[in-house]
Amino acid sequence: MWLYSRSCSPQHRTCCVFSNLLIAGGGASSHSSSWSQAANMSKPLSDHDRKKQISVRGLAGVENVTDLKQNFNRHLHFTLVKDRNVATKRDYYFALAHTVRDHLVGRWIRTQQHYYEKDPKRVYYISLEFYMGRTLQNTMVNLALENACDEAMYQMGLDMEELEDMEEDAGLGNGGLGRLAACFLDSMASLGLAAYGYGIRYEFGIFNQKIVSGWQVEEADDWLRYGNPWEKARPEYMRPVHFYGRTEHNPDGVKWVDTQVVLALPYDTPVPGYRNNIVNTMRLWSAKAPCEFNLKDFNIGGYIQAVLDRNLAENISRVLYPNDNFFEGKELRLKQEYFVVSATLQDIIRRFKVSKFGSREIARTDFSKLPDKVAIQLNDTHPAMAIPELMRVLVDEEKLSWEKAWDICVRTCAYTNHTVLPEALERWPVDLFAHLLPRHLEIVYEINRRHLENVAAKFPGDVDRLRRMSLIEEGGQKRINMAHLCIVGSHAVNGVAQIHSDILKATVFKDFYEMEPHKFQNKTNGITPRRWLVMCNPGLAEVIAERIGEDFIRDLDQLKRLRDFASDDALIRDIAKVKQENKLKFAVHLEEHYKVKINPNSMFDVQVKRIHEYKRQLLNCLHIITYYNRIKREPNKQWTPRTVMIGGKAAPGYHTAKMIIRLITAIGEVVNHDPVIGDRLKVIFLENYRVTLAEKAIPAADLSEQISTAGTEASGTGNMKFMLNGALTIGTMDGANVEMAEEAGEDNLFIFGMRVDDVDALDKKGYHAEEYYNRLPELKQAIDQIAGGFFSPKQADLFKEIVNMLMHHDRYIKI
């Protein structure tokens, strides 16, 4: 149940890798536009640089290298005010970034002009997180500039990879939810959809993780300290956002008065599609205090303090909350959620009303057409305030009737649910709402009153159902259930994998499904192959293109054509060669950054994701210890060498997750220095896992660990990234693993463990860890070693809390 060790010969691994490429192309397009929209690769190998493959057949051929060099020097001189004598590597990166951005600008302006002329329905993807990573290389790939830029830099004596490494990650997300948003923006631009991403321009993104004496330490991610060459401030579109105050009910309507105003300053980042001349926009809002902020203090002589207090308003966009799958009900977080929603809706309505590009004249006032021209997608419940805010705008400001406004609101909004974990669901205290957003509380109560009338009409006499379905949770502190608000106020509700969507309908939102089954659907998450194949693994992309051409870049279903080469020894050999090159490159990176020398011929066994009990890094630890003990017992046996890499960040306030990191590092300290083990087993914790590190680790992986308890991982997207790059998957039937197994056939994945029904049955029966502990000697030995201080000799009881949790109150059935 808990052990999942499999020996796997190199030959078997290569064949399975090939089957995974077939899987990635099989039927995935029905699940998600992100998965199915493909990328492009541009560059042949430069004669001067064989270490970096940057082509898929043929020259990029879209830019004159001489022009690029001239533009580069122009930016170095005029934009950065430097010459080659004093310029730093970072200056060269900025000069190159500005040179590449120049190629976006004309397309960007023309794209927006085109949207105004054609007036298509626009998609507004509102998310509190956009985990973008780096921009330079992705932009060069999508514009087919990589080859020309590389050649230009070479001729100027500069190393392209070194310049790319100067770019800061835009880490404005925690994990899957934020990275999904980034992938969707890329896919929508490549599809030519009139789409906009709206979020917050956090001054500090997800913290940088340092491992000090085995413990996670958080450092602020000051990603903007050197400036961001990709963004353009748009102060002309600054919008006021109101907080606090009170409501006045008059015969001519309701007014929200005596509010505190914070200004939302937009910063636009271009989002290029793949070679289609489309450049969409991601607009991130930054909080600014108005000039008259705390003006009353000026008048009583507190000028200095009044200026200093401006920081209070501007704190709204200061920092990303570092929680993944956990709700922290802080006032600042609710402020962030309303801030992005209010500014975005003002922008959406402004754009809806005007007709000509650059015009401010109102040309459209009939809001009944809003759902035909606007689609608002809520990425989880974080932007749920869009529903009461849209109602406030339509009813209070535009003077529509409630009934008409509600019809428009529901037809315009749609909601994506990302988790079934109860601790992750947002439930805001009514008292906080009343204080911060008094008008919105009134609107939520009215939405709830009408909603419960509908429930009572459909299910007369079912009082308990009314309680369960209410937007307001009674008992103790009154709370607003934001997921319920999203379901009631949207026309579509989706989960992010089929099994997740089924669980929502059967359990968490069962009452709502019975009330309005037509709202519920599935949209399995996806990934953009531009970044996750072409950009991060150009060698593999080129091998594929040599066999089936480059159409798969636009249509990933084309990978099915590789089936014709299933017995082609040359292809299998080429794929194995690329994998080995990726492993060698990553081994060098690990030695440089982690001071650990590893065997590049070992199996790279990788589990990278946020540290959380349900993701079961602890199960991986138990397996590592058992594998270690087996080698120690039979040191002369032939063992497949294995390098286990675990990476991910723990939320700063999540004590158990931090203890899990400490256990992983402790196991590594013992295993990596045991002379009996040698290079047959190494354990490495990948510090500061982020998008850029994923782009290095995933192409090098042999084995992808996707081992969450069945029914807990909504989808996962790392599972897809590993598979697209030819790694084998070992995992449970959870999230998107289920659909991956359906596409591939279970025999092409290492599936183990309980299914959802088994977990439910065990929960009902009662789970007793001692039964397994007493029955399985290897498990008992592993637990005893953790409990007895084998991995913490200086503090024998260091991991007693973990052992106690595993043995007595384990929610996720790790043993």
pLDDT in tens, 344-365: 999 999 999 996 666 677 788 8
Distance separating alpha carbons of residues 364 and 551, to the nearest angstrom = 41
pLDDT in tens, 430-472: 999 999 999 999 999 999 999 999 999 999 999 999 999 999 9
Proportion of the chain above pLDDT 90, given as a percent: 84
User: Quick one: DSSP state of residue 565?
Assistant: G
Tell whether the model's pLDDT for residue 16 goes beyond 50: no
Mean pLDDT of 308-336: 92
What does the pLDDT read at residue 815? 63
Kind plus residue range of the DSSP H or E element containing 247: strand 246-250
Tell whether the model's pLDDT for residue 32 goes beyond 50: no
Distance separating alpha carbons of residues 266 and 201, to the nearest angstrom = 8
Helix axes 617-633, 655-671, angle to 10 degrees: 20
Distance separating alpha carbons of residues 187 and 138, to the nearest angstrom = 13
User: Quick one: DSSP state of residue 709?
Assistant: P
Distance separating alpha carbons of residues 25 and 596, to the nearest angstrom = 36
What does the pLDDT read at residue 554? 81
Tell me which residue of 777, 775, 802 sits closest to 787, measured CA to CA: 802
The encoded tokens of residue 604 equal 């790279």
Tell whether the model's pLDDT for residue 297 goes beyond 90: no
Mean pLDDT of 176-198: 97
Question: Are 326 and 654 within 8 A, CB to CB?
Answer: yes
Question: Are 153 and 163 within 8 A, CB to CB?
Answer: yes
What does the pLDDT read at residue 8? 41
Q: Active site includes 610?
A: yes
pLDDT in tens, 249-261: 999 999 999 999 9
Tell whether the model's pLDDT for residue 388 goes beyond 50: yes
Q: Which of 717, 729, 732, 814 is catalytic?
A: 717
Question: Are 493 and 487 within 8 A, CB to CB?
Answer: yes
Mean pLDDT of 28-42: 32
Q: Which of 59-73, 202-216, 271-285 has the lowest mean pLDDT?
A: 59-73
Distance separating alpha carbons of residues 191 and 118, to the nearest angstrom = 16
Kind plus residue range of the DSSP H or E element containing 472: strand 472-473
Distance separating alpha carbons of residues 398 and 418, to the nearest angstrom = 33
Question: Are 56 and 553 within 8 A, CB to CB?
Answer: yes
Q: Classify 523 as helix, strand or coil.
A: coil
The encoded tokens of residue 101 equal 């951005």
Distance separating alpha carbons of residues 144 and 638, to the nearest angstrom = 48
pLDDT in tens, 95-110: 999 999 999 999 999 9
Q: Active site includes 721?
A: yes
Mean pLDDT of 777-781: 98
> What angle (nearest 5°) sits at the alpha carbon of residue 729, between those of residues 727 and 734?
145
* pLDDT, greater one: 296 or 517: 517
Tell whether the model's pLDDT for residue 552 goes beyond 90: no
* pLDDT tier at 301, thresholds 50, 70, 90: low
Question: Are 432 and 329 within 8 A, CB to CB?
Answer: yes
* pLDDT tier at 298, thresholds 50, 70, 90: low
What does the pLDDT read at residue 10? 36
pLDDT in tens, 607-638: 999 999 999 999 999 999 999 999 999 999 99
* pLDDT tier at 38, thresholds 50, 70, 90: very low
Distance separating alpha carbons of residues 204 and 127, to the nearest angstrom = 17
Distance separating alpha carbons of residues 369 and 349, to the nearest angstrom = 12
Tell whether the model's pLDDT for residue 3 goes beyond 70: no
Proportion of the chain above pLDDT 70, given as a percent: 90
* pLDDT, greater one: 300 or 544: 544
Q: Which of 75, 179, 530, 609 is catalytic?
A: 609
What does the pLDDT read at residue 40? 30
Contacting residues for 386 by C-beta, under 8 A, at least 6 apart: 126, 341, 344, 345, 376, 378, 413
Q: Active site includes 134?
A: no
Distance separating alpha carbons of residues 209 and 687, to the nearest angstrom = 6
Count the Cβ atoms, other than its own, within 10 Å of residue 346. 17
Q: Active site includes 615?
A: yes
Question: Are 522 and 501 within 8 A, CB to CB?
Answer: yes
Question: Are 648 and 689 within 8 A, CB to CB?
Answer: yes
388, 437, 471, 489 from 480: Cα distances, Å: 12, 13, 6, 14
Q: Which of 13, 283, 418, 531 is catalytic?
A: 418
Q: Which of 75, 583, 721, 814 is catalytic?
A: 721
Secondary structure (DSSP) of 308-354: HTHHHHHGGGTB----SS-----HHHHHHHHHHHHHHHHHHHHHHHB
Q: Active site includes 696?
A: no
Q: Active site includes 465?
A: no
Q: Which of 239, 531, 579, 615 is catalytic?
A: 615
Q: Classify 704 as helix, strand or coil.
A: strand
What does the pLDDT read at residue 306? 83
Question: Are 409 and 489 within 8 A, CB to CB?
Answer: yes
Q: Which of 610, 623, 680, 814 is catalytic?
A: 610
User: Quick one: DSSP state of residue 241?
Assistant: E
Mean pLDDT of 776-797: 97
What does the pLDDT read at residue 813? 80
Q: Which of 51-55, 144-148, 634-638 has the lowest mean pLDDT?
A: 51-55
Tell whether the model's pLDDT for residue 57 goes beyond 50: no
pLDDT in tens, 237-247: 999 999 999 99
What does the pLDDT read at residue 45? 35
Tell me which residue of 600, 649, 631, 592 sits closest to 169, measured CA to CA: 649
Enter the pTM of the model: 0.93
Mean pLDDT of 556-582: 95
Question: Are 350 and 368 within 8 A, CB to CB?
Answer: no
Query: 177-193 burial, b for 16+ CB within 10 Å, e for fewer?
Result: bbbbbbbbbbbbbbbeb
Kind plus residue range of the DSSP H or E element containing 647: strand 642-647
> What angle (nearest 5°) sits at the alpha carbon of residue 124, between those of residues 133 and 326?
60
What does the pLDDT read at residue 358? 65
Mean pLDDT of 582-608: 93
